[in-house]
Chain A
Amino acid sequence: SQQGEEDPQALSIQEGENATMNCSYKTSINNLQWYRQNSGRGLVHLILIRSNEREKHSGRLRVTLDTSKKSSSLLITASRAADTASYFCATDDDGNNRLAFGKGNQVVVIP
């Protein structure tokens, strides 16, 4: 089954800076979701963007979706130490009855 692929794999930034990570996928989708995983914890749902949407905001998060390029980006503005986590994108992989997750981006925010 198709999976999202995040890029880059690891990112280290200073507190206050913005963090951007990308995700690509291979098949048509109905929606794409981003999740955060703190060390030793489960995934926390951050935001869902539907295939007919191009951009969505939630607090300090901004997600874009380009269905022609089959890619999405997650921007975290004014990062905080608490944003240190791994971030995963997931797609509904049109036709499959589950979410397929990518490999994850590790983000470290240095205080």
Chain B
Amino acid sequence: GEEVAQTPKHLVRGEGQKAKLYCAPIKGHSYVFWYQQVLKNEFKFLISFQNENVFDETGMPKERFSAKCLPNSPCSLEIQATKLEDSAVYFCASSQSVTGVGYTFGSGTRLTVV
């Protein structure tokens, strides 16, 4: 398809619970990126994939965050033992290259940790 599909749109978790977010990139796009947006401000880079391989994970909080992009499955971002400060909108984007063309973003998953 021509859109990046993110599910669910909203997710509410109690502190300490697990959260799992999904992203279906555009077919033919080799790169997938995850960004975190807190309070409508700047976008914090988390991780990127080139096909199913981790490309750049320098933005990931290593202790509780993990992500995968497996063949024939949506990509996923998982947060173990969520904390209040994880509350944010998580955006997934896909692209045909790392930085040479524009990214196509999904509509995001709003995670609220209570």
Contacts and interface: CB of A to CB of B under 8 A. Distances in A.
The main secondary structure of chain A at its interface with chain B is loop
A103 B91 contact: no
Given A3-B42, A43-B91, A98 B106 contact: no
Contact of A98 (B4, B33, B100, B102): B33
B100 A88 contact: no
Contacts, number: 62
B103 A43 contact: yes
B98 A98 contact: yes
Contact of A45 (B42, B55, B91, B103): B103
B108 interface: yes
Contacts of B62: none
Given A3-B42, A42-B91, A103-B41, A97 B56 contact: yes
Contact of B99 (A30, A86, A104): A30
B105 A43 contact: yes
A31 interface: yes
Interface string A53-82: 000000000000000000000000000000
Given A42-B107, A98-B45, A86 B100 contact: no
Contacts of A96: 56
Interface in B64-114: 91, 93, 98-108
B21 to A, nearest CB: 13
Most buried by A among B41, B45, B93, B106: B45
Interface of A: 1, 3, 30-31, 33, 35, 40-45, 48, 86, 88, 92, 96-104
Given A35-B105, A43-B103, 15 more contacts: A40-B107, A41-B107, A41-B108, A42-B4, A42-B106, A42-B108, A44-B105, A45-B102, A88-B43, A92-B99, A92-B100, A99-B33, A100-B45, A101-B43, A103-B42
5 contacts: A45-B102, A92-B98, A98-B45, A98-B98, A99-B99
- In the A-B complex, the 3 residue pairs with the smallest Cβ-Cβ separation, listed nearest first, are A45-B102, A42-B105, A92-B99
